[in-house]
Every structure is written in C-alpha cells, then in structure tokens.
C-alpha cells in the first residue's frame, strides 16, 4: 500500500503535474491523465535503473542521487542545429563523467 501511495504522490509532483489542473472538457482531463501515466512508468523505470548510482558526500555519507537531481544534471546536455551560409551542422554537448554514468545506467549510448 505504501508504494501505491508513493506512486500517486509522484504523479502529483511538479515532475508529472497530474494535480488539479482545470481542463474545460472531460476528454482533456482523460488525455492529461493518459499522458501522465506513461510518464510515471518511464520515471519508475529510470529510478530502477539508477539505483546503483551513488555518491559519497563530504561527510562520508553514502547517498543515492534523487530523481530530480538526475534530471537537473542531464538538462545541460544539448543538441543544437546550426545553419550558417548554407552549411548545416548539428552540435551535441559532451556529457561530463557524472552524466556519462547516468546515461550508461539508463542504457543510452554516449
């Protein structure tokens, strides 16, 4: 029962935002919930894969990375398309060591 409560709590956080959003029609409400459910499923799988990722802080305490921390860490990876004088180029930022570890655990090729 605790895991079900945690799942509903996760759905209501700012990460998925299934909380009270006032849509004008029932169809929009159903669509919003439909989109949030697969998003929760992806989030759950990410948490499962990131379980081994841990760090030792300055006090020597072993801690796991939070889901929010992981998302914030990955936000700096960008794929930019640049066009200059008819030449098109795509630039992807190089992930740092921490980002590489996260992406490896998620099964994303770096």
| 43 and 61 belong to one structural domain | no
Overall number of domains in the chain? 2
| DSSP secondary structure letters along 44-80 | HHHHHHTTT-EEE-TT--EEEPPHHHHHHHHTT--EE
- Check residue 39 and give its pLDDT: 78
Q: Are residues 72 and 29 in the same domain?
A: no
Q: What is the average per-residue pLDDT within 91-98?
A: 89
Rounded mean pLDDT, 48-55: 74
Q: Are residues 42 and 6 in the same domain?
A: yes
Is 43 a residue whose pLDDT tops 70?
yes
pLDDT at 19 over 60: no
Average pLDDT score over residue span 45-61: 68
The verdict on 3 and 45 lying in the same domain is yes
Three-state DSSP state, 88: strand
Specify the pairing of strand 62-64 against strand 87-92.
unpaired
Tokens standing for 46? 């990410």
pLDDT of residue 45: 83
Greater confidence, 20 or 99?
A: 99
Beta partners for residue 89, in sequence order: 82
Domain that holds residue 44: 1-49
């Amino acid at each position: 029962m605790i895991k079900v409560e945690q799942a509903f709590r996760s759905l209501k956080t700012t990460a998925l935002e299934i909380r009270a959003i006032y849509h004008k029609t029932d169809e929009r409400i159903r669509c919003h919930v439909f989109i949030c459910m697969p998003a929760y499923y992806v989030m759950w799988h990410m948490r499962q894969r990131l379980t081994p990722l841990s760090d030792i802080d300055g006090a020597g305490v072993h801690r796991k990375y939070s889901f929010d921390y992981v998302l914030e860490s990955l936000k700096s990876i960008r794929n930019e398309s640049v066009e200059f004088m008819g030449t098109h180029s795509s630039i992807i930022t190089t992930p740092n060591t921490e980002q590489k570890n996260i992406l490896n655990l998620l099964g994303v090729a770096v």
